[in-house]
Amino acid sequence: MQTDSSFTFVLFGGTGDLSMRKILPALFEAHRAGGMLADSGKIVAVARHIADRAAYIDWVNEHVKPHVSKNGVDETAWASFLDRIEFVKIDLGKPEDFTLLRDALSGRPGIRVFYLATGPSLFVPICHALASVGLNENSRIVLEKPLGYDLKSSNAINDAVGEIFAEEQIYRIDHYLGKEPVQNLLALRFGNVLFEPLWRREWVESIQITIAEELGVEARGDFYDNTGALRDMVQNHLLQLLSIVAMEPPHSMDSDSVRDEKLRVLRALKPIDPRDIGKVAVRGQYHAGVIRGSAVPAYATEPGVKQDSTTETFVAVKVEIENWRWAGVPFFLRTGKRLADRVAEIVVNFRAVPHSALGVSALRGGANRLVIRLQPNETIRLYCLAKQPGEGMNLASVHLDLAFDRFFREGQMEAYQRLLLDVINGRLALFVRRDEQEAAWRWVEPILNEWAASNKPPKPYAAGTWGPAAASAMLAQHGTCWLEEEN
Ligand code: BG6
């Protein structure tokens, strides 16, 4: 991924958690790898509480360095990385301060990238202030999630930002789209002739998509308590994964071809009737429990969380897609904090053979199953039935494994690194277009409304388990179960 295009990467929220853990480490990795960032490219950090560049560099050394390269930092590369960093002290509440930024950026070559690693309430004021000093020209703007709280607030932000930046200048990040295995899903589906003919209702019985976390809400209790798992994970990451699993083959990999196909899926999601929400969606909240041998506290006692909180930390939901390819196939989406394992995977359960001359086991749905594990380790496992050795014809489940680290010596590129390089190089395919985002909000909205109006609290589950039993019962109604419940 060689580049010679110069850039200035302006980082708002330069001392925030995201800058510290993700953005600056990702830029460092791109710098260290060599050839990915133009030599003349600069990073201009913007913050209010830091006096000057020297103080910012001290902050970067203290807070960012521990988050780069687990195997030790290459000191020469680190020193040259710091040379790329400049600093402008701005109070984001004072639009007049933006003239300082304009002066600092004046006469620089190449594209300007404004990365808003700030709370969403600052997105619109920052865009207005940038426009007031003419900085919306020749530039791209990166918006972090959460982009709004519901359809209305998301539209309000998109309308206001859209008055200042054209849609092709706006990069809405969903970091799941930057993950290598998610890219690989596209390669698997559209680079091989093997799967696509079977990838449809005639041969697929059900699909599960799980993003399970062992972590709790960490230091984000306050934010999370006002957000919940449906907004934090389902509206964006899970629906994006779903759209990649279910989309039609795009005409090409250019940004709009891919995003058009994803949008078609999102628009085809069967709207949820508010009266059915109890049947098709389960919300849970973790209580105290044990994770890997350590006791962990209940959600309601986490710092920043209201004691009587009804915020969900777990969601399982049944989704249907109203089109010819997927009519009648249930997609089960699930995510939660403080679950039994950290895993993100997609499970495609194929139908049973139409007639078995080989006994009942061949008639079991799910005998053929494809499990695409996205993290922690990227693998693809294809389950088949085979004859057990010995007398008679008894079938047993066996699997073919594809572990990518055995094939590719190079490590995976971290999601943020790929996405930041894409912004700098003007590649929009892995960013969420406004219409996709709207379609996703529109679909989750009845659930949000119903839960907000309901006086029933989320179902409790013990930390370290797989969530409320109701999530299993929902699948049982379709004659299936979550992958970890097999056998
Ligand atoms: C973020 C959510 O978008 O994704 C977090 O806000 C969540 O709550 C995180 O922990 C999960 O991402 P990953 O890459 O660790 O699976």
Q: Where are the domains of the chain?
A: 7-144, 177-413+431-486
Query: If the chain, 487 residues long, is cut into consecutive pieces of 10 residues, what is the mean pLDDT of each piece?
Result: 77 93 95 92 94 96 89 90 96 90 94 93 94 94 91 96 97 94 92 95 97 94 95 97 97 95 98 94 98 96 96 98 98 98 97 87 84 92 94 91 84 90 96 97 96 93 98 96 90
Ligand 1: nearest atom to the Cα of 224: 8
Q: Whose CA is nearest to atom 9 of ligand 1?
A: 233
Q: Which of 389, 411, 407 is nearest to 398 (CA)?
A: 389
Q: What distance in Å separates the CA atoms of residue 450 and residue 315, rounded to the nearest whole number?
A: 14
Q: What distance in Å separates the CA atoms of residue 465 and residue 214, rounded to the nearest whole number?
A: 10
Q: What distance in Å separates the CA atoms of residue 236 and residue 240, rounded to the nearest whole number?
A: 6
Q: What distance in Å separates the CA atoms of residue 283 and residue 374, rounded to the nearest whole number?
A: 24
Q: What distance in Å separates the CA atoms of residue 444 and residue 269, rounded to the nearest whole number?
A: 10
Fold of 7-144: Rossmann fold (3.40.50)
Q: Which of 333, 336, 329, 335 is nearest to 350 (CA)?
A: 329
Residue 2 has a pLDDT of: 47
* Structure-token match 């007031």, residue found: 132
Q: How far is the CA of 245 from the centre of ligand 1 (A)?
A: 20
- CB neighbours of residue 86 within 10 Å: 16
Ligand 1: nearest atom to the Cα of 174: 3
Radius of gyration of the CA atoms of the chain, in A: 24
Q: Whose CA is nearest to atom 4 of ligand 1?
A: 233
Q: How far is the CA of 289 from the centre of ligand 1 (A)?
A: 21
Q: Whose CA is nearest to atom 6 of ligand 1?
A: 232
As annotated, the active-site residues are 237
Ligand 1: nearest atom to the Cα of 215: 10
Please tell me the pTM assigned to this model: 0.95
Q: How far is the CA of 364 from the centre of ligand 1 (A)?
A: 35
Mutate to test the pocket of ligand 1, among 17, 18, 176 (most ligand atoms within 8 A of CB): 176
Does the fold of domain 177-413+431-486 match that of domain 7-144?
no
Q: Which amino acid is at 445?
A: E
Q: Give strand pairing partners of 385.
A: 397
Residue 468 has a pLDDT of: 98
- Tell me the CATH number for domain 177-413+431-486: 3.30.360.10
Q: Residue ranges of the alpha helices (H) in 226-351?
A: 228-229, 239-246, 255-267, 277-280
Residue 407 has a pLDDT of: 86
The binding-site residues of ligand 1, defined as CB within 6 angstroms of any ligand atom, are: 213, 232
Ligand 1: nearest atom to the Cα of 145: 3
> In degrees, to the nearest 5, what angle opens at C-alpha 67 toward C-alphas 66 and 71?
80
